[in-house]
Amino acid sequence: MAKKVSRKAGKKSSPPPRRKAAARATAKRRVRVAYSKADVKELKGHSKAKTPLKVIAKTMKRTEGSLRQKAMVLGIPLGHRR
């Protein structure tokens, strides 16, 4: 009796294609937090004290880019001072 040979016997199986939608659904979404009056006052205080941007970012729990953008809107200097 002859053996049955499967069609994929000689081929290597490739992994299934990854789905971007599934990866996007499991990713953590960031929520924008508005600046309160107290946050603005704290940012202005750090600007006057010439606190380094990394330190401000850690204490206020915001990104450096977010802080730079807010400082630009408020018209206050922040970072890069030599």
Work out the average pLDDT over 63-76.
Answer: 95
Nearest-angstrom CA–CA distance, 54 and 58: 6
Residue 43 buriedness (CB in 10 A; 0-12 / 13-18 / 19+): buried
1-52 confidence digits (pLDDT tens): 666 666 656 666 777 676 666 666 677 887 889 999 999 999 999 999 999 9
